[in-house]
């Protein structure tokens, strides 16, 4: 079959790598792709948030299956356009993607489903929001309602920080995403991510992971898209996972179906776990990046079969086969990220890296220039490995870093510290 993947980050390189291992895949196109993806698939220049264009492209390239990587095309209705045109697609409708696109919507669904999550209030103006913070005190969490590329959340440890965040959001600091602000109770505990597939009815868990959001070692400094991840997440034990399924995820999926907007795709539940009890932090309607890299390392070729079963509503017959192993990915980022950073520095040594089922360097923000790989984004490379134990996986991932010749690149040296 001919497959199209939308996106061009480390997540999409990992998806492409897994899909290519499946003998069902005859031809793979990734739009827009990156320098690493270009080594294993065709890359196409396409506006992936324009549903009509994605449909035209799919029809004219005889695409049998589309996999949507990021949230923006989903929120823009690209999966709806494809389904409407009869092109099989992995990814939820725009209506179902509101689980990520609107924090307020997710809170309302949780309330209707009885799913445990932080207490909250919704505000449309700064003054009542400020009064709420003054009455409640810190720590407290301030969130822009809409999609803000992962930057619309401020975990305020002091009242002053909370008030500053409110002012910034209502001053338009997050664009339209900040027209409404959700203020939440601060939840304590350990965070982990739970990934399930849902075909509108059946829910199938496909793995757990933990990522490191902060730029600095010891999980300090500003938030990033994620500086590294590992799977499985030890804190998400079978017992906690079962509670997350029965108390949070299945009731949410049932509520979405009841409203006539069944959820079809991968659901990424960010959970806060304390004393064995999970509460929902947030939903994402896509794979995490870099969490996808460790999940694909562990799933391999079957990932395509599972995504197809999701799209064809036959997850009740699907099974996941897990090797009893651990995976880790370490992100190499451009110096300065998540603040300002330069593009265009040359990355050497990539040809010396192993490319096996156990060690892969997935590309995120890379491009080709004059026959050389150059940095073209904040997060640039994902050194990813799999082994019998997490500490072996870590050693294999960091060993790859010694081959990469890129003085402008930085990485954290302590990915996985909590689990190790
Ligand atoms: P997001 O950018 O939406 O992934 O959220 C950023 C991070 O903020 C989450 O991963 C949590 O670490 C933290 N966070 C969000 N909501 C809460 C909450 N109610 N209590 C504690 N931490 C939170
Ligand atoms: N790594 C966090 C995310 O993909 O949202």
Residue ranges of the chain that CATH labels 3.40.50.20: 2-93
The fold adopted by the segment(s) 190-317 is D-amino Acid Aminotransferase; Chain A, domain 1 (3.30.470)
CA–centroid distance, 82 to ligand 1, in Å, is 32
CA–centroid distance, 226 to ligand 2, in Å, is 6
pTM across the whole model? 0.95
* Exposure on the CB side of residue 302, measured as CA atoms within 13 A: 11
Ligand 2 neighbours, Cβ below 6 Å, are 150, 211, 225-226, 284, 288-289, 291
The token duo for 27 is 């031809």
Residue ranges of the chain that CATH labels 3.90.600.10: 326-410
Task: Pick out the chain residues at pLDDT < 70.
Answer: 148-151, 177-178
Helix axis angle for 291-299 and 302-311, nearest 10°, is 110
Task: Give the residue among 315, 125, 289 at the shortest CA–CA distance from 209.
Answer: 289
Of 153, 165, 221, 290, the residue with max ligand 1 atoms within 8 A of its CB, to mutate for a pocket test, comes to 153
CA dist 377 and 366 (Å) reads 7
Please, which residues have CB within 8 angstroms of residue 242's CB and are 6 or more apart in sequence? none
Query: Which CATH number is 326-410 given?
Result: 3.90.600.10
Q: Please report which helix (H) or strand (E) contains residue 13, including its range.
A: helix 10-20
Instruction: Tell me what pLDDT residue 172 has.
Output: 79
Q: Please report which helix (H) or strand (E) contains residue 380, including its range.
A: strand 379-387
Q: Does any ligand 1 atom lie closer than 6 A to the CB of residue 140? A: no
With contact defined as beta carbons under 8 Å apart, do 57 and 31 qualify? yes
CA dist 124 and 319 (Å) reads 45
Preceding peptide of 124 cis, ω within 30°: no
Q: Which CATH class is domain 125-179?
A: alpha beta
Instruction: Tell me what pLDDT residue 176 has.
Output: 72
CA–centroid distance, 170 to ligand 2, in Å, is 25
Q: Does any ligand 1 atom lie closer than 6 A to the CB of residue 245? A: no
Task: Give the residue among 387, 320, 313 at the shortest CA–CA distance from 357.
Answer: 387
Q: Does any ligand 1 atom lie closer than 6 A to the CB of residue 187? A: yes
User: Taking the mean position of all CA atoms in its chain, how far away is CA 348?
Assistant: 28
With contact defined as beta carbons under 8 Å apart, do 202 and 315 qualify? yes
Residue having the nearest C-alpha atom to atom 3 of ligand 2: 288
| Burial letters 197-211, b for 16+ CB under 10 A, else e | bbbbebbbbbbbbbb
Instruction: Tell me what pLDDT residue 223 has.
Output: 86
**Answer CATH for 2-93 from 3.40.50.20, 3.40.50.2000, 2.40.110.10, 3.20.20.140:** 3.40.50.20
Task: Give the residue among 181, 169, 165, 182 at the shortest CA–CA distance from 107.
Answer: 182
Q: Which residue has the tokens 């395509």?
A: 304
114-167 residue pLDDT tens: 999 999 999 999 999 999 999 999 999 999 887 766 668 899 999 999 999 999
Instruction: Tell me what pLDDT residue 178 has.
Output: 63
Q: What angle do CA 89, 296, 15 make, to 5 degrees?
A: 40
């Amino acid at each position: 079959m001919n497959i199209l993947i939308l996106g061009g980050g480390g997540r999409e390189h990992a998806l492409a790598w897994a899909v290519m291992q499946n003998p069902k895949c005859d031809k793979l196109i990734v739009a827009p792709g990156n320098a690493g993806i270009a080594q294993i698939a065709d890359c196409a220049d396409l506006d992936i948030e324009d549903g009509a264009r994605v449909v035209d492209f799919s029809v004219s390239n005889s695409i049998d299956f589309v996999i949507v990587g990021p949230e923006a095309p989903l929120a823009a209705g690209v999966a709806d356009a494809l389904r409407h045109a009869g092109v099989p697609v992995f990814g939820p409708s725009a209506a179902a993607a509101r689980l990520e696109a609107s924090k307020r919507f997710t809170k309302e669904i949780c309330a209707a489903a009885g799913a445990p999550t932080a207490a909250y209030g919704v505000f449309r103006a700064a003054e009542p929001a400020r009064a709420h913070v003054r009455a409640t005190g810190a720590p407290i969490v301030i969130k822009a309602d809409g999609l803000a590329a992962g930057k619309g959340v401020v975990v305020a440890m002091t009242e002053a920080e909370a008030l500053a965040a409110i002012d910034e959001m209502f001053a338009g600091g997050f664009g339209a995403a900040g027209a409404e602000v959700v203020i939440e109770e601060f939840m304590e505990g350990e965070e982990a991510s739970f990934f399930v597939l849902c075909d509108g009815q059946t829910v199938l868990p496909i793995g757990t992971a933990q990522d490191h959001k902060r730029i600095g070692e010891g999980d300090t400094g500003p938030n990033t898209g994620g500086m590294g991840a590992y799977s499985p997440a030890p804190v998400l034990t079978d017992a906690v996972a079962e509670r997350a399924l029965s108390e949070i995820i299945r009731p949410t999926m049932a509520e979405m179906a009841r409203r006539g907007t069944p959820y079809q795709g991968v659901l990424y539940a960010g959970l806060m776990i304390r004393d064995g009890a999970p509460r929902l932090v947030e939903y994402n309607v896509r794979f995490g990046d870099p969490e996808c890299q460790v999940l694909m390392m562990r799933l391999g070729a079957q990932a395509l079969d599972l995504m197809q079963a999701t799209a064809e509503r036959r997850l009740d017959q699907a099974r996941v086969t897990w090797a009893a192993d651990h995976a880790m990915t370490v992100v190499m980022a451009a110096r300065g990220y998540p603040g300002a950073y330069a593009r265009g520095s040359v990355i050497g040594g990539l040809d010396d890296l192993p490319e096996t089922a156990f060690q892969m360097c997935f590309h995120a923000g890379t491009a080709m220039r004059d026959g050389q790989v150059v940095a073209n984004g904040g997060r640039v490379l994902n050194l990813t490995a799999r082994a019998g134990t997490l500490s072996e996986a870590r050693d294999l991932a960091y060993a790859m870093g010694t081959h990469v010749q890129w003085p402008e690149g930085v990485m954290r040296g302590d990915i996985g510290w909590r689990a190790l």
